[in-house]
A and B are shown apart, each in its own frame.
Chain A
Amino acid sequence: MLTAKQQQLNDILEEIAKSLDISPSDFLKAQKRYDSVGEWIIDGYNAGDYPNSLCEPEVFLQGSMRLGTAVRPFRDGKDADFDIDLVCQFAEPKKEYNHKDIKSQTGRRLKNHADYKRMLAEEGKRCWTLEYAEDSNGIGFHLDVLPCVAESPTDISNMRLYTSAKEKYIIHSIAITHKDKENNTYSWKPGNPKGYAQWFDEIKQPALNLIIEAKSQAIFENNREFFASKEEVPQYMVKTPLQRAIQLLKRHRDMRFASHELGDFKPISMIITTLAAKVYENEHDTLSALLNIINTINSHNVLLENRHVADHSITMKKLIEKRNDGMWWIENPVNPQENFADRWHENNQVRARAFFQWLGWLKEDIYTFLHTENIVECSNRFNECFGERDVKKAFSEIGSKYKNQRNEGKLKVNSNGILGAEGATVLGHTFFGE
C-alpha cells in the first residue's frame, strides 16, 4: 500500500512518463508510415527486386516502439526525432557472402520509390534510414530499415545444444548485416528482436491484463477523433508500470548525462530495459517498480571494487555479473551468448562507472521527491531530471484532471485540506479576481 505522499508522487511520475511518450495521434502517424514503407518493401518481391528470395520478405516492428517504451530522444542538448525500427527479414538462406547483397537490395528497393529516395540517408552500419520532415507540432521521425535473414540452422542448432537459450526464443534468431565503413566490408551479427519482444511481453502480461480494460477506455475517451470504440485502441498504447518506469529511466539518463563528461559512456537503452524487466516483480504502480529496480540493481555497485553481491536472491537473477576474467556480463535473456556489457571493462571500466554513477543520481533524485514537503520548490529538480517542457505538461494535465473531477462532483477534501478521493465533496465554484 502506498502512503499518500507516495501515491501523489506516483501520479506525477506516471503523468510525466505519459508526456514523454509518443502521443496517440503521433503513434498512429508513425504506424501509417511504418505500414507504407513495409508494404513497399514487401511488394519488391513481386516487382522482381529480390532475385534470390523464395517468397515475400517478412516485415516486423522492433525496438522501443514495439516494446512500448519509446521516449522522445534528447541528443546534443535538444529534442531529437522519434525512432521507428522496421525489420525486413528476407526469405533467403544465410550464406557466407550474401550479406552485402541483402543490404544492397534493400537500399535499391527504397531508392526505387521517388519519395523514399529523397528521404534516404547515407547507408548506415546496419540500417537504411528514412528521414521524415518535422510536423507542424515539431515532432520528427526517422525510420530505420534493418535488413536480415533467418539465422542458419547450424547456428540455431549450436544455440540449442550448447547454451541455455530457450527454444521458444531461439527459433526467431536472425542474422543482421554489419558494414565496416572504414574497410567497406560486410559481416554477419546475431540478433533476436522478435524473441526479445516476446520475452518482454511475457513479463508485462500480468500487469497488462489487470489494467487493459480501464486504460483502453481512458485512451478512447481522450482520443475520440481517432477511435470509434474502446476496442479499437491498440494494445501497444496501453502502458504498464514496467514500461512507464523504463521510460522515466531512459529520460533521466538522457537529461542527467547531457553535457556531462561521462556522457559518451552513458548506459545504453538495451541495458536499462533488460535489467528493469528482469527485476520487475509485477508491481502495480510505477513508483514501486522504480524503487525496486533502483535498489536491486544498485546493490551490484560492489562489483566495481571486485567485491561480491551478498544477497543470493539477487545474484540468482543474473542481472549484472563480473566474471573471473574481469569481463562484465549483462546477458541477453534470449541469447545467453550475447553480452550487452561487452565494452564495460574498457577504459578502466568507464562504462560500468558511468552506469553506477547514474544509479546514484537516480536514487538521490527519487528520494528527494519522496521526502519533499514543498512540491513547488521540488519542481526544479523534476525539470532537471525529465525536462521542463514535459514536466510542465504533466502538471497541467494533473490540474485539468482535478478541475474535471471537481466539476463532476468527484473531488473531495479531508480535514487537513488535502484534495483527493477522501473526505467531503468540494462544491462547484468559479475562481474570480483581478
Chain B
Amino acid sequence: MRRSSGILFLANSQKRKGNINLCIQKMYISKKYPYAKCKIIDMGNCLQCNLSLQPTALSPKYSVKVIYFVNSTPAVYVRELLKKTGLPHVYKGNKLCLYYPGSGEWNHRSILADTIIPWASEWLFYYELWSITGEWHGGGKHAEDKEAISEQTRDK
C-alpha cells in the first residue's frame, strides 16, 4: 500500500503560500482532542477528522466530522443532525456555519483545533438551547445581513 502522507506530496500540494501544513493541523487536533480520529487522504490534499463532541456534561456526545481540503474552507457536519430540517446557522446539507466569511475570523493560517472545533462545540451548545427555547442565543449574522453590508460598502 502506498503511503500517501509523505512530506513530498504535502509540499507539492500546498498551492497557497503560508498555509498551515495539514500534518500540523492534524497534530494540533490530536494533541487537544486525543480521542479524535484523523487521517490525511486524497494524496495529501485533505484532512478528515471524526471526533465526538459533548457541549455540556448533561449533553449527549455528538459525532462530528471535519473535512478540510487544502484550498477550501473546512466543512463540519454532525451525523445525528444530517437529516434534520430547519436548523439555524447551517449551509446547504447541514454544514455548520461557524464564522463570518471574509471577516478574517478564520483563514488558512488558523489552527483548526483552536477555532473550528471549539466553535463546533459551541454551535452544538446553542443548537441544544435553540431546541429548548426556540431561539438562537449565540449571536451571529445571516445571509441577508451580508448582502446588506456589502451593498452599504458598495455605495460608499
Chain A residues within CB distance 8 Å of chain B: 3-5, 7-9, 369, 372-376, 378-379, 391-392, 395-396, 398-400, 402-403, 406-407, 411, 413, 415-420, 424, 426-434
Q: List 17 other contacts, CB 8 Å, given A416-B35, A424-B114.
A: A3-B57, A374-B60, A392-B132, A407-B139, A415-B33, A416-B53, A417-B117, A417-B120, A419-B125, A426-B121, A431-B98, A431-B99, A431-B126, A431-B140, A432-B142, A432-B143, A433-B97
Tell me whether A427 and B114 are in contact in the complex, defined as CB-CB below 8 angstroms, given that A415-B32, A415-B35, A432-B97 are known contacts: yes
Q: Is the CB of B58 within 8 A of A417?
A: no
CB distance from A424 to the nearest CB of B (A): 7
Q: Which of B5-13, B16-24, B37-45, B101-109 is the contact stretch?
A: B101-109
Q: Is the CB of B122 within 8 A of A406?
A: yes
CB distance from A187 to the nearest CB of B (A): 51
Q: Is the CB of A434 within 8 A of B91?
A: yes
Q: Is the CB of A429 within 8 A of B106?
A: yes
Closest to A383 in B: B132
* B47 within 8 A of partner (CB): no
- The list of the 10 closest CB pairs from A to B, nearest first, reads A399-B137, A431-B140, A417-B53, A433-B97, A4-B57, A433-B89, A417-B121, A430-B100, A375-B58, A413-B118
**Chain A contacts of B131 at CB under 8 A?**
376, 379
Interface residue from A373, A395, A415, A432 paired with B132 (Cβ < 8 Å): A395
Closest to A406 in B: B122
Q: Is the CB of B105 within 8 A of A430?
A: yes
**Complex: A433 Cα to B93 Cα, angstroms:** 12
**Complex: A419 Cα to B33 Cα, angstroms:** 14
**Chain A contacts of B89 at CB under 8 A?**
431-433
**Complex: A400 Cα to B34 Cα, angstroms:** 30
List residues of B (111-151) whose CB comes within 8 Å of A's CBs. 114-115, 117-126, 128-129, 131-143, 146
**Chain B contacts of A434 at CB under 8 A?**
90-92, 97, 142-143
Q: Is the CB of B135 within 8 A of A430?
A: no
Tell me whether A432 and B52 are in contact in the complex, defined as CB-CB below 8 angstroms, given that A8-B58, A427-B114 are known contacts: no
Interface residue from A373, A378, A400, A431 paired with B123 (Cβ < 8 Å): A431
Q: Is the CB of B99 within 8 A of A429?
A: yes
**Chain A contacts of B51 at CB under 8 A?**
417
Interface residue from A391, A406, A424, A428 paired with B32 (Cβ < 8 Å): A424
* B55 within 8 A of partner (CB): yes
CB distance from B37 to the nearest CB of A (A): 14
**Chain B contacts of A403 at CB under 8 A?**
137-139
Tell me whether A417 and B52 are in contact in the complex, defined as CB-CB below 8 angstroms, given that A374-B59, A427-B118 are known contacts: yes
**Complex: A302 Cα to B92 Cα, angstroms:** 60
**Chain B contacts of A417 at CB under 8 A?**
33, 51-55, 62, 117-118, 120-121, 124
Tell me whether A376 and B128 are in contact in the complex, defined as CB-CB below 8 angstroms, given that A4-B57, A396-B133, A428-B105 are known contacts: yes
Q: Is the CB of B55 within 8 A of A433?
A: no
Tell me whether A419 and B58 are in contact in the complex, defined as CB-CB below 8 angstroms, given that A376-B128, A403-B139, A432-B89 are known contacts: no
**Complex: A117 Cα to B143 Cα, angstroms:** 58
**Complex: A55 Cα to B71 Cα, angstroms:** 88
Q: Is the CB of A415 within 8 A of B34?
A: yes
Q: Is the CB of A418 within 8 A of B140?
A: no
Interface residue from B56, B119, B124, B129 paired with A396 (Cβ < 8 Å): B129
Tell me whether A398 and B129 are in contact in the complex, defined as CB-CB below 8 angstroms, given that A429-B106, A432-B101 are known contacts: yes
Interface residue from A5, A407, A415, A424 paired with B58 (Cβ < 8 Å): A5
Interface residue from B59, B125, B134 paired with A402 (Cβ < 8 Å): B125
CB distance from A412 to the nearest CB of B (A): 9
Tell me whether A433 and B133 are in contact in the complex, defined as CB-CB below 8 angstroms, given that A415-B33, A418-B57, A424-B32 are known contacts: no
Q: Is the CB of A419 within 8 A of B142?
A: no
CB distance from B138 to the nearest CB of A (A): 5
**Chain B contacts of A400 at CB under 8 A?**
137
Q: Is the CB of B56 within 8 A of A431?
A: no
